[in-house]
């Protein structure tokens, strides 16, 4: 079905089911003793910038894939997700120590920034030929630290379709001797920053008021309940941590499916959420002038479609093919859409029936569908299963059989 829907040849999708072989794993890390598998589900109904996308999601938690898929269906009614990703510029940091005059050293670096950038431009000719490479230098003075003051040099580096860690780290290591020569200082650490705040991706969606009502909850109740739930996270770090965890349920699932570094994305997300000095929500929810629910998510998204596990792990390769993303930016955009959908799934459930019933409800719909329910039967059967506290396929099949026998 996925091959038919996506137009991707079936052979290219086999790896979704076959996974990573032991000999492949053995070439990825050290001391390999086995392969650890997780379920890969498909996030459905996603429309991202007007394009349908099937989204592979790797996650161990039930209801995550169903929640995202259901919210994507509601968002589809409002035109889907509108997303953006900027040029993939990463920050490489150099810590310059042993300087007697920090301000003077900063001035020297800034005065020589053109030469330094030209030098940095020679480091990776392949990246340069693809339109990537150095984009700028920034100098920051850290006045106070446990070892006293020092200078931090930021190399802004466009990494194109890579996550960028290797490219940035190499560039910093290669540029360091030049910086030492100019400043007379000692370049200590040379490493990328995971607070990739030059690589902020965005997603927004409008959920038409009319599609928000369900069961005994009016559309206005659901909309206002979501906004109230968001306000809790906006104001309180204890809640914001859980709220953002819900966003990361979706984000990480796609980051992992595509072979990307989820610790880097997690680190960037939480550092960005705390950028004002107080940890807060990564998303915003409100209403537009027509009373529709509108959501936005913005966060750093350092992911790639070349290099690392994205090209070595067969399931990651198949996942990227299935999504049909052509650039790292497009992948970042889909990930943001999934994060926003996941956030809405959690807030909608929490603001109405509570998360436990929501989990059961979502699960029950899947069970009802799996039992062969069609059209309106799905909702009715799911509700009946929840009522009977028997969300099981055998019971679903029995009820369906009875209904159909009795017309």
- Catalytic residues, by residue number, are 61, 245, 261, 359
Choosing from 246, 250, 259, 300, the residue that interacts with ligand MEV (CB under 6 A) is 246
Q: What distance, in Å, lies between the first and last C-alpha atoms of the chain?
A: 31
Give the shortest CB-368-to-ligand MEV separation in angstroms. 22
Give the shortest CB-231-to-ligand MEV separation in angstroms. 13
List binders of ligand MEV among 321-360 (CB under 6 A). 346, 350, 355
Nearer to ligand MEV, 14 or 242 (CB): 242
Q: Kindly state the tokens that stand for 113.
A: 């920034």
> Which of 52, 142, 143, 93 is CA-nearest to residue 325?
52
Which part of the chain contacts ligand MEV (CB under 6 A), choosing from 21-29, 104-112, 244-252, 266-274? Answer: 244-252
Nearer to ligand MEV, 61 or 220 (CB): 61
Cβ pair 191, 116 in contact under 8 A? no
Nearer to ligand MEV, 199 or 243 (CB): 243
Contacts (Cβ under 8 Å, ≥6 apart) of 134: 117, 120, 121, 155, 156, 157, 158, 171
Choosing from 82, 198, 243, 317, the residue that interacts with ligand MEV (CB under 6 A) is 243
Nearer to ligand MEV, 185 or 361 (CB): 361
Give the shortest CB-65-to-ligand MEV separation in angstroms. 12
Choosing from 186, 245, 357, 392, the residue that interacts with ligand MEV (CB under 6 A) is 245
Cβ pair 19, 39 in contact under 8 A? no
Cβ pair 68, 349 in contact under 8 A? no
**Residue showing the smallest CB distance to ligand MEV in the complex:** 246
Choosing from 249, 258, 283, 319, the residue that interacts with ligand MEV (CB under 6 A) is 249
Cβ pair 192, 92 in contact under 8 A? yes
Tell me how far apart the alpha carbons of residues 210 and 231 are, in angstroms, rounded to a whole number.
23
Question: Measured on CA atoms in the order 220, 223, 226, 227, is the torsion positive or negative?
Answer: negative
Q: Sketch the per residue contact string, 43 through 62, with ligand MEV: x for CB under 6 A, - otherwise.
A: ------------------x-
Tell me how far apart the alpha carbons of residues 285 and 242 are, in angstroms, rounded to a whole number.
16
Give the shortest CB-78-to-ligand MEV separation in angstroms. 21
Q: Kindly state the tokens that stand for 209.
A: 């008021």
Nearer to ligand MEV, 150 or 285 (CB): 285
The angle subtended at Cα 142 by Cα 138 and Cα 146, nearest 5°, is: 145
Tell me how many residues contact ligand MEV (CB under 6 A): 9
Q: Sketch the per residue contact string, 273 through 312, with ligand MEV: x for CB under 6 A, - otherwise.
A: ----------------------------------------
Tell me how far apart the alpha carbons of residues 208 and 18 are, in angstroms, rounded to a whole number.
40
Q: Kindly state the tokens that stand for 203.
A: 């997603």
**Which residues on adjacent β-strands are paired with residue 155?**
92, 137
Which part of the chain contacts ligand MEV (CB under 6 A), choosing from 20-28, 149-157, 240-248, 330-338? Answer: 240-248
Give the shortest CB-245-to-ligand MEV separation in angstroms. 5
How many CA atoms lie less than 13 Å away from 164 in the CB half-sphere? Answer: 33
Give the shortest CB-60-to-ligand MEV separation in angstroms. 11
Contacts (Cβ under 8 Å, ≥6 apart) of 374: none
Tell me how far apart the alpha carbons of residues 104 and 183 are, in angstroms, rounded to a whole number.
9
Which part of the chain contacts ligand MEV (CB under 6 A), choosing from 116-124, 172-180, 243-251, 383-391? Answer: 243-251
Q: Is 238 in the site for ligand MEV (CB under 6 A)?
A: no
Element (H, E) at 93: strand 89-97
Nearer to ligand MEV, 59 or 335 (CB): 59
Nearer to ligand MEV, 67 or 80 (CB): 67
Site residues, ligand MEV (CB under 6 A): 61, 242-243, 245-246, 249, 346, 350, 355
């Amino acid at each position: 079905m996925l091959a038919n829907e996506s137009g991707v040849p079936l052979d290219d999708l086999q790896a979704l089911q076959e996974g990573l072989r032991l000999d492949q794993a053995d070439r990825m890390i050290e001391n390999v003793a086995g392969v650890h598998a997780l379920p890969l589900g498909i996030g459905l109904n996603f429309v991202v910038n007007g394009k349908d996308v099937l989204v592979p999601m790797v996650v161990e938690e039930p209801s995550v894939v169903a929640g995202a898929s259901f919210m994507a269906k509601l968002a589809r009614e409002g035109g889907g997700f509108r997303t953006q990703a900027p040029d993939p510029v990463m920050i490489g940091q150099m810590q310059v120590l042993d300087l007697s005059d920090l301000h003077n050293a900063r001035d020297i670096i800034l005065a020589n920034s053109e030469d330094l950038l030209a030098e940095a431009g020679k480091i990776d000719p392949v990246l340069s030929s693809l339109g990537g490479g150095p984009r700028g230098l920034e100098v920051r003075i850290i006045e106070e630290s446990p070892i006293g003051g020092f200078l931090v040099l930021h190399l802004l580096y466009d990494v194109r379709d890579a996550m960028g860690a290797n490219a940035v780290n190499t560039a910093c290591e290669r540029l360091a001797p030049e910086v030492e020569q100019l400043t007379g200082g000692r370049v200590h650490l040379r490493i990328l920053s995971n607070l990739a705040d030059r690589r902020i991706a965005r997603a927004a969606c409008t959920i038409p008021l009319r599609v928000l009502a369900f069961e005994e909850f009016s559309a206005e109740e659901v909309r206002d309940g979501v906004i109230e739930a968001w306000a809790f996270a906006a104001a309180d770090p204890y809640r914001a941590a859980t709220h953002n965890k819900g966003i990361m349920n979706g984000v990480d699932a796609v980051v992992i499916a595509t072979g990307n570094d989820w610790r880097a994305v997690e680190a960037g997300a939480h550092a960005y959420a705390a950028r004002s000095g107080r940890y807060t929500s990564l998303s915003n929810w409100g209403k537009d002038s027509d009373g529709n629910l509108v959501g936005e998510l913005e966060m750093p998204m350092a992911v790639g479609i070349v290099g690392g596990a994205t090209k070595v792990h067969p399931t990651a390769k198949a996942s990227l093919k299935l999504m049909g993303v052509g650039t790292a930016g497009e992948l970042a955009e889909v990930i943001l859409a999934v994060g926003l959908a996941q956030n809405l799934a959690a807030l909608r459930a929490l603001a109405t029936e509570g998360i436990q019933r929501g989990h059961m409800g979502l699960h029950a719909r899947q069970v009802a569908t799996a039992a062969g329910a069609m059209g309106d039967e799905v909702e009715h059967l799911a509700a009946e299963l929840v009522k009977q506290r028997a969300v099981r396929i055998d019971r679903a099949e029995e009820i369906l059989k009875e209904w159909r026998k009795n017309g």
